[in-house]
Amino acid sequence: MQFVVIARDGTDAEAPQRRLKAREAHLANVGRLKEPEKMLMGGAMLDDKGTMIGSVMMFDFPDRARLEAWLKNDPYSIGGVWQSLEIKSFRVAVKS
């Protein structure tokens, strides 16, 4: 199943520093995903000043429960970077 995830960072003054501190571990965690769990696309959401304020990701996981478990154990969740997660079922229709 495919999913789109919108993860919003905290809005407190320390939020950008939490993200930077956990970023390397987060990227390594994404790199460890293996079939049948994979990230189709991901990146940082930016505000008007170019500051990272969250993440948008598309995944292909066998089911939502496994995706939620992975998200819960990601360094951005553990480190308090992501303050809210929105998960929606998704189907890729067009690829470039």
Domain ranges for the chain: 2-90
Q: Can you give the pTM of this predicted structure?
A: 0.91
Mean pLDDT of the chain: 95
Q: Are 33 and 39 in contact (CB under 8 A)?
A: yes
Confidence at residue 95, expressed as pLDDT on a 0 to 100 scale: 78
- CATH architecture of the domain covering 2-90: 2-Layer Sandwich (3.30)
d(CA 72, CA 66): 10
Q: Are 90 and 34 in contact (CB under 8 A)?
A: no
Confidence at residue 31, expressed as pLDDT on a 0 to 100 scale: 92
pLDDT digits (tens, 9 = 90+) for 53-91: 999 999 999 999 999 999 999 999 999 999 999 999 999
